[in-house]
Every structure is written in C-alpha cells, then in structure tokens.
C-alpha cells in the first residue's frame, strides 16, 4: 500500500510541475504578444507621422 501511495505522490508532483511549467510558458507567450502589439502600434504611429511630414513637404514644394 505504501508503494502505491509513493507512486501517487510522485504522479501528483509531476502533474503540479507540469502545470507550473505550462503556466510559465503561457505568461511568456502573453508577454511576447503584448510586446509585438506595442511594437506594431509604435510603428503605425511613426508611419503616420512620417506620412504627415511627406504631405507637408509635398505641399511646400507645390507652393514654390
């Protein structure tokens, strides 16, 4: 009976460790995804600013 209890305890430890590792990987994936979203938003913002500058340059060129 004691042998079976030891096996069950080991199985529970393995299951808990697996859950912890899975949770860590999930948090890492979320962190990477949030970084990608932030980077994309910054690129879009920078693209819009550059687009406005180009439009201003084109307008100034037309005036001259």
- Output the pTM of the full model: 0.68
Over range 25-43, report the average pLDDT.
98
The domain ranges of the chain are: 1-64
pLDDT of res. 22: 98
Of the chain, the percentage scoring pLDDT greater than 70 comes to 98
Whole-number mean pLDDT of the chain?
A: 95
pLDDT in tens, 35-61: 999 999 999 999 999 999 999 998 888
What tokens were used for 33? 């995804």
Could you give the CA distance from residue 13 to residue 18 in angstroms, rounded to a whole number? Answer: 8
């Amino acid at each position: 009976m004691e042998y079976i209890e030891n096996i069950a305890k080991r199985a529970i430890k393995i299951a808990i460790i697996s859950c912890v590792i899975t949770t860590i990987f999930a948090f890492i994936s979320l962190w990477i995804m949030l970084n990608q979203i932030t980077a994309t938003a910054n690129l879009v913002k920078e693209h819009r600013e550059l687009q406005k500058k180009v439009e201003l340059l084109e307008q100034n060129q037309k005036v001259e």
